[in-house]
Chain A
Amino acid sequence: MLRVHSYESMGTHDGPGLRLVVFVQGCRFNCLYCANPDTISTMGGKETSIEEIVNMAKSQKAFFGTKGGVTVSGGEPTLQAAELAKLFKALKEEGINTCLDTNGNNMNDEVRELLEYTDTVLLDIKHMDPAQHKYITGRSNENTFKFANYLKEHNIKTWLRYVLVPGLSDQEESLQSLGEYFKDYENIERLEILPYHTLGKHKYEVMNRKYMLEDVPSNTEEQLEKAFNILNPYFKYVQVN
C-alpha cells in the first residue's frame, strides 16, 4: 500500500509528455517555500493499493502517447521506495513510462531497486551551498550529490530541477556553481528552472502554520531570463518550467 496525497491526471510539467502524476505523502525536508506542505507529514494521505494506481494508469494509457506516462512526486517518494518499486515494476510490465521526482536525500537497496524501473529521474537541487541548503530545507545536500553521482554512474536519464527563489537561491554564483558541478553529467538531459510561486500559501493558513517567505515576491521575467542565460551554456537543454 502507498500513502497517496492526490493525483493530477493531466501533468504537463512533471516529466516528458502527458503524465499521470501521483503525489505521495511524507517528506523529511522542510523547505521554506514548500508548495505542498500538506504532503510533508508521513501520517496523512490515503492508503492506496498498487493495483488501484496501476488500473488508473492503464485506463489513462491511451493519453500518454509516445512520451508520457506516470510520474511519482510528493512529498518525497523514496520514503516509500519498496512499495514504489512494485508500482514501477508493474507499470513497466504494462509498457508505461515511469518518472520519479525526488530530492535525492535517500539511498538504500529499496531505492536502488526502484531506480531499476525508473525511466527518468527528476532530481531537485535546492541549493549548491551546504549551509544555504540546510537553511532552506533543514538538511544537508550531501546525500543529494551522492544520489546524483549514482544516477551518473548508472547512466539513468535525469532532469535536474531548481526552484529559483528571489534572494534565497538565485544568487549568480550559486547558479554558476550549479552549472559547473553538473556540466559533465552525460545522463542529465535537461535543467528545469522552477519559478518560485506562492500558490501553496493558502495551505499554510488552512494548516495554521506560519509561511516563512511572506515578503518574497514571485520572480520577475528579468530574473528568470538572467538565470536562464547563466545556466543555458552548461546544459543540453534548459527550460523555465
Chain B
Amino acid sequence: MANRKDFKSGNWNEKIDVRNFVQLNLTPYEGDASFLCGASDRTKKVWDACVQALKEERDNGGVRSIDNILVSTITSHKAGYIDQENESVVGLQTDAVLRRSMKPLGGVKVVEKALAENGLEMESHTRDIFNYRKTHNDGVFDVYTDEIRTYRSLGFLTGLPDNYARGRVIGDYRRMALYGTTRLIEAKKADLAAISGPMNEDTIRLREEVSEQIKALKEITIMGSYYGFDLSRPAETAQEAVQWVYLAYLAAIKEQDGAAMSFGNTSSFLDIYIERDLQAGLITEEFAQELIDQLVIKLRMVRHLRMSSYNDIFAGDPTWVTESIGGTMNDGRTKVTKTSFRFLQTLYNLGASPEPNMTVLWSKDLPLGFKNFCAQVSIDTSSVQYENDDLMRTTRHSDDYGIACCVSFQEIGKHIQFFGARCNLAKALLLAINAGRCENTGKLVVKGIPALKSDVLDYEEVMTNYRIVMKEMARVYNDSMNIIHYMHDKYYYERAQMALVDTNPHINLAYGVAGLSITADSLSAIKYSTVKCKRNEDGLSTGFDIEGDYPCYGNDDDRADSIAVEVTNFMNAELKKLPIYKNAEATLSVLTITSNVMYGKKTGATPDGREKGVAFAPGANPMHGRDKNGAIASLSSVSKINYTSALDGVSNTFSIVPRSLGHNDEERCENLICMMDGYFSKNAHHLNVNVLNREMLKDAMEHPENYPQLTIRVSGYAVNFVRLSREHQLEVLSRSFFERM
C-alpha cells in the first residue's frame, strides 16, 4: 500500500490547500504521446454495456428511464453499477445507468412537466411533499416585477435560471481525495466557529450555509459506504484518488441538476497519485489508462431530467462536465502531465464524445509534444476546445483554475459563479429604432426613447438611443439576477459543492450577451451605408433597405470590429455599476450556447439585412457567410473583443474542412498549432475547433444510426450531432466552414 508520506509536505498538510499539494508534487511531462495505451479488456466490456444503453436511450426518444418515486439526494439512491466486476471506478446517480432522477427543488412544476413529457407522473407521496415545501422557481416568480416579466417574455432576457438550477459552481472535488471528510468537516467546523455576531442577515445566512455543508460532508461519507469505501479518510492509492474525486462529484450531481456542473482541473492532481504508484511498481500504464478511461465513462453517463423546452437554449442534452487540461504554473513549469494525455486518449479508446467537455488550457509554452497531440485529437475527433491560459492566468492571477460551464474562468475552491444566461443585444437595438417599443408586439419596453427623426437611419441618433436602452436593460437584468440568486441560495443551495469550496468565496456574476455580430453589423451598416427603415402601420420596423456596401465584423476590418468592441465595453461597464447580491463581481460573456437559434426567432429584421426570425451567429462568431476574407481574418476580428470587458468569456467556434488545414496530417497539425498560437497571442480567449466535412454532417442528418458518436463543437461545448434537433442541425450546417477553392 502506498503511503501519504511519499508526498512532499507543505502548507497543504496544515491547511486545506490543494494547489500547494499540486505545486509541490507534480511531475510535468514534456514528451510525446508514444507511451499511451489502448483500452483494457475490462474497459471495453464496461464501455460496450454503455454503448448498448446509449442506443436504448436514443431509440427511446432520448431518455432511457426515469425514477419517478425517489427525490434524488446525496444518499437517496444506493449503489448502482454498469458491470460491477469490470468497473475500476464505480458510482451512478441512480440504481441503473442512464436512469434519470427527480431533483424538484429547482422547481417542482418543471420536474412534473419533464415527467409528463415522458408519459410519467410523480409518485403521489413524493408530489405531496411539495404541497408543503416551496421551490426555487416559486420563490423567483413570487418576487419578479412586471418589468422583468416583460423583458423575459418578449425575449430581451432569455434562458434565465429561474426554472432550472443555476449550476456553474465547481466543487474542489480533489479535496475529497487529499483530505477525506473527517478533515474537511473539521475545517468547516472551525470556519463555522469563527463566524460570529452581530447576527445580521449575511452572517446568519453564512452560518446556515456552513452548517449545511457539514451535513453534506457527512452524507457523502454515507454515500461512499454504499460502495464499500471509507471517504472519511484520504485516498491512499491512485485508484482510490480517482474514486474519491469521482464520488465527490457524484454527490454533487445527485443533489443538483445545474445547467453546467464542471469537473474542474483534476488531471494534473490525479497524475500525482498515478505517477507515484507507477514509480512504486504498484500499477502499470495500462491500468493507469484504465482508471482514466473508466472515470471518463462515468462522466459520459451523467444525466439530468429536463423538460423538452430546455432544448431550445441548451440543445443536445448537455451536462458540461468540463475538465480543464494543461496550462502553466506561475513559476513557468508546465502543468501538462502524462494524465493530461491520458484524458485526451479516452477520445480514441472510447471514441469521440461531447462529454466530459475537454478543455485544453493553451499556453504558448505548452510542450510541443502535447500541442501536437492536442492538434491531432482535434483533427480526428472535433471534441476539444481551447482557452487562453496565458491570458487567464495573468489577468485573473491564478494558476489553479478550471472552466465553469463552457468558457468561464473559475479559481478552484476559491471562486464560484452565479450563472446569468444572457440578454439580447440585437433585439435591444430595435428598441432604439422603435422608440422603446418591442418590434414584434408594439409593447412599450423602455420609456423615454424619442422616435427617430427620419426613416434613413442616422448613426449618432441611433447610438444615443441605444445607449439608453442598454443602460435600462442592464438595470432590469441586474434586478432579475439578484432575485434569482437570492432564491436559489434559499431553496436550492449547492451544499455538497460548497462543502468543497472555501467558506464565503469570491463570487462572479456571469452576465451574458447574445447577438453581438448582428448588432455590430447593423450599426456598421447604419454608419457606412444608407439604411432605410421600413415600418408597418403601427410605426414598427419590419425591414431595412440597404444601399451600398458596409464593412462586416469578421473581416479584420477595424471599422466594423471596433463597433463590436465598443458595444461589449459599454454593456459591461453598465452592468458593473450595479450592486449585486452577496457582493458578487459583475463579469460578462459573449456566448450563446445554442440559444442563438431561439434568440434569432424572437428578433425582428435587423438593419444589417438579416430577416426576421433568422438565427444569430453563435457566441462572438461573425455572422456566417459575411466573413469573406477567410478564417484568419475572422479569428483576428474576434480577438479584438477585450477579455477584460468580457471576463466570463468570449466564445468562438471554428469549423474547417480537413483539406483546408493542409495537405496531410503533419501539415494540418502544424498549421492548427500555428493558428492557435497566433490567435491566443493576440489575446483571444476561447476557440472551439471542428475539423469536419459538411457532407459528413449532411449524411449524419439522413442516417443518424451510422453516426452515434459524431461529435461537434458548438458555442462553448460539444454535442452529439445526431441528438440535435433538425433546426439546430441546419443552423450548424449554415455556419461558415472555411473551405478553399
Task: List chain A positions with a Cβ less than 8 A from chain B.
Answer: 6-13, 17-18, 20, 35-36, 56, 59-60, 62-65, 67-68, 197, 199-200, 239-241
**Complex: chain B residue closest to A203, CB-CB:** B741
A197→B660 CA distance, assembly (Å) = 15
**Complex: chain B residue closest to A21, CB-CB:** B630
Asked if B178 lies at the interface with its beta carbon under 8 angstroms from chain A, I say: no
Q: List 23 A-B contacts (CB under 8 A).
A: A7-B628, A8-B740, A9-B631, A9-B633, A10-B630, A10-B631, A11-B740, A12-B660, A12-B667, A12-B671, A13-B740, A18-B632, A18-B674, A60-B636, A60-B678, A62-B679, A62-B682, A63-B632, A63-B674, A64-B674, A65-B677, A197-B741, A239-B663
Asked if B539 lies at the interface with its beta carbon under 8 angstroms from chain A, I say: no
In angstroms, how far is the closest chain A Cβ from the Cβ of B668? 8
Give the residues in chain B near A64, CB-CB below 8 Å. Answer: 674, 678
CB contact between A62 and one of B631, B661, B678, B741 (< 8 Å): that residue: B678
- Asked if B630 contacts A12 (CB within 8 A), the reply is no
In angstroms, how far is the closest chain B Cβ from the Cβ of A96? 13
The 9 A-B pairs at the shortest CB distance, nearest first, are namely A63-B678, A9-B632, A10-B631, A9-B630, A65-B674, A9-B633, A62-B678, A7-B629, A8-B630
**Complex: chain A residue closest to B635, CB-CB:** A63
Instruction: Take A60-B556, A60-B633, A68-B674 as given contacts and tell me if A12 and B662 are in contact as well, using a CB distance cutoff of 8 Å.
Output: yes
A10→B628 CA distance, assembly (Å) = 11
Total contacts A-B at CB 8 Å: 81
- Asked if A60 contacts B632 (CB within 8 A), the reply is yes
In angstroms, how far is the closest chain A Cβ from the Cβ of B658? 11
- Asked if A63 contacts B628 (CB within 8 A), the reply is no
Give the residues in chain B near A10, CB-CB below 8 Å. Answer: 630-632, 656, 660, 675, 738, 740
Asked if B681 lies at the interface with its beta carbon under 8 angstroms from chain A, I say: yes
In angstroms, how far is the closest chain A Cβ from the Cβ of B477? 34
A9→B670 CA distance, assembly (Å) = 17
CB contact between B675 and one of A18, A67, A239 (< 8 Å): that residue: A18
Give the residues in chain A near B556, CB-CB below 8 Å. Answer: 9, 56, 59-60
Give the residues in chain B near A65, CB-CB below 8 Å. Answer: 674, 677-678
Give the residues in chain B near A56, CB-CB below 8 Å. Answer: 556, 633
Can you list, as one digit per residue, whether each of B637-679 has a CB less than 8 Å from chain A (1) or not (0)? 0000000000000000000100011110001001100110111
In angstroms, how far is the closest chain B Cβ from the Cβ of A52? 10
Looking at chain B's contact residues, the main secondary structure is: helix
Can you list, as one digit per residue, whether each of B710-741 has a CB less than 8 Å from chain A (1) or not (0)? 00000000000000000000000000001011
A7→B670 CA distance, assembly (Å) = 22
**Complex: chain B residue closest to A61, CB-CB:** B678
Give the residues in chain A near B636, CB-CB below 8 Å. Answer: 9, 59-60, 63
- Asked if B633 contacts A17 (CB within 8 A), the reply is no
Give the residues in chain B near A239, CB-CB below 8 Å. Answer: 663
Can you list, as one digit per residue, whether each of B499-516 has a CB less than 8 Å from chain A (1) or not (0)? 000000000000000000
A62→B364 CA distance, assembly (Å) = 12
Instruction: Take A63-B679, A64-B678 as given contacts and tell me if A8 and B663 are in contact as well, using a CB distance cutoff of 8 Å.
Output: no
**Complex: chain B residue closest to A241, CB-CB:** B663
Which bucket holds chain B's interface residue count? Answer: 20 to 34
In angstroms, how far is the closest chain B Cβ from the Cβ of A106? 24
In angstroms, how far is the closest chain B Cβ from the Cβ of A80? 20
CB contact between A13 and one of B631, B663, B670, B679 (< 8 Å): that residue: B663
A184→B536 CA distance, assembly (Å) = 74
- Asked if A17 contacts B674 (CB within 8 A), the reply is yes
A10→B741 CA distance, assembly (Å) = 12
Give the residues in chain B near A62, CB-CB below 8 Å. Answer: 677-679, 681-682
Instruction: Take A56-B556, A200-B741, A239-B663 as given contacts and tell me if A63 and B629 are in contact as well, using a CB distance cutoff of 8 Å.
Output: no
Q: A17-B671, A35-B741 are in contact. List 19 more A-B contacts (CB 8 A).
A: A6-B629, A7-B630, A8-B629, A8-B740, A9-B556, A9-B632, A10-B631, A10-B740, A12-B667, A17-B670, A18-B675, A18-B678, A59-B556, A62-B678, A63-B636, A65-B674, A67-B674, A68-B674, A240-B663
Give the residues in chain A near B741, CB-CB below 8 Å. Answer: 35-36, 197, 199-200
A11→B631 CA distance, assembly (Å) = 9
In angstroms, how far is the closest chain B Cβ from the Cβ of A14? 9
Give the residues in chain A near B678, CB-CB below 8 Å. Answer: 18, 60, 62-65
**Complex: chain B residue closest to A35, CB-CB:** B741
Give the residues in chain B near A67, CB-CB below 8 Å. Answer: 674
**By CB atoms of chain A within 10 A, which of B628, B629, B632, B634 has the most?**
B632
**Complex: chain A residue closest to B738, CB-CB:** A10
Give the residues in chain B near A35, CB-CB below 8 Å. Answer: 741
In angstroms, how far is the closest chain A Cβ from the Cβ of B553? 14
Give the residues in chain A near B656, CB-CB below 8 Å. Answer: 10
**Complex: chain A residue closest to B661, CB-CB:** A12
A60→B577 CA distance, assembly (Å) = 35
Contacting A at CB under 8 A, from B6-50, are none
Contacting A at CB under 8 A, from B680-695, are 681-682
A8→B630 CA distance, assembly (Å) = 5
A10→B679 CA distance, assembly (Å) = 12
A36→B633 CA distance, assembly (Å) = 21
A200→B663 CA distance, assembly (Å) = 20
A18→B660 CA distance, assembly (Å) = 11
In angstroms, how far is the closest chain B Cβ from the Cβ of A32? 17
A172→B614 CA distance, assembly (Å) = 53
**Complex: chain B residue closest to A46, CB-CB:** B549
Can you list, as one digit per residue, whether each of B614-635 has a CB less than 8 Å from chain A (1) or not (0)? 0000000000000011111111
**Complex: chain A residue closest to B628, CB-CB:** A6
A11→B634 CA distance, assembly (Å) = 13
In angstroms, how far is the closest chain A Cβ from the Cβ of B95? 51
A56→B661 CA distance, assembly (Å) = 21
A59→B677 CA distance, assembly (Å) = 14
A8→B738 CA distance, assembly (Å) = 10
Give the residues in chain A near B632, CB-CB below 8 Å. Answer: 9-10, 18, 20, 60, 63
Give the residues in chain A near B633, CB-CB below 8 Å. Answer: 7, 9, 56, 60
In angstroms, how far is the closest chain B Cβ from the Cβ of A158? 19
**Complex: chain B residue closest to A239, CB-CB:** B663
In angstroms, how far is the closest chain A Cβ from the Cβ of B642? 16
Can you list, as one digit per residue, whether each of B262-303 has a CB less than 8 Å from chain A (1) or not (0)? 000000000000000000000000000000000000000000
**By CB atoms of chain B within 10 A, which of A13, A67, A239 has the most?**
A13
Give the residues in chain B near A36, CB-CB below 8 Å. Answer: 741
A111→B262 CA distance, assembly (Å) = 59
Give the residues in chain B near A8, CB-CB below 8 Å. Answer: 629-630, 740
In angstroms, how far is the closest chain A Cβ from the Cβ of B236? 46
In angstroms, how far is the closest chain B Cβ from the Cβ of A115? 26
Give the residues in chain B near A59, CB-CB below 8 Å. Answer: 556, 636
Give the residues in chain A near B738, CB-CB below 8 Å. Answer: 10
Give the residues in chain B near A241, CB-CB below 8 Å. Answer: 663
**Complex: chain A residue closest to B741, CB-CB:** A199
A7→B630 CA distance, assembly (Å) = 7
Give the residues in chain B near A63, CB-CB below 8 Å. Answer: 632, 635-636, 674-675, 678-679
A146→B630 CA distance, assembly (Å) = 35
A234→B643 CA distance, assembly (Å) = 52
**Complex: chain B residue closest to A62, CB-CB:** B678
In angstroms, how far is the closest chain B Cβ from the Cβ of A161? 13
In angstroms, how far is the closest chain B Cβ from the Cβ of A83? 20
A199→B740 CA distance, assembly (Å) = 10
A8→B632 CA distance, assembly (Å) = 8
**Complex: chain A residue closest to B627, CB-CB:** A9
A57→B552 CA distance, assembly (Å) = 18
A60→B555 CA distance, assembly (Å) = 11
Give the residues in chain B near A200, CB-CB below 8 Å. Answer: 741
A56→B656 CA distance, assembly (Å) = 22
In angstroms, how far is the closest chain B Cβ from the Cβ of A120? 16
A20→B556 CA distance, assembly (Å) = 12
In angstroms, how far is the closest chain B Cβ from the Cβ of A9? 4
In angstroms, how far is the closest chain A Cβ from the Cβ of B630? 4
In angstroms, how far is the closest chain B Cβ from the Cβ of A193? 11
A65→B661 CA distance, assembly (Å) = 15
A200→B682 CA distance, assembly (Å) = 34
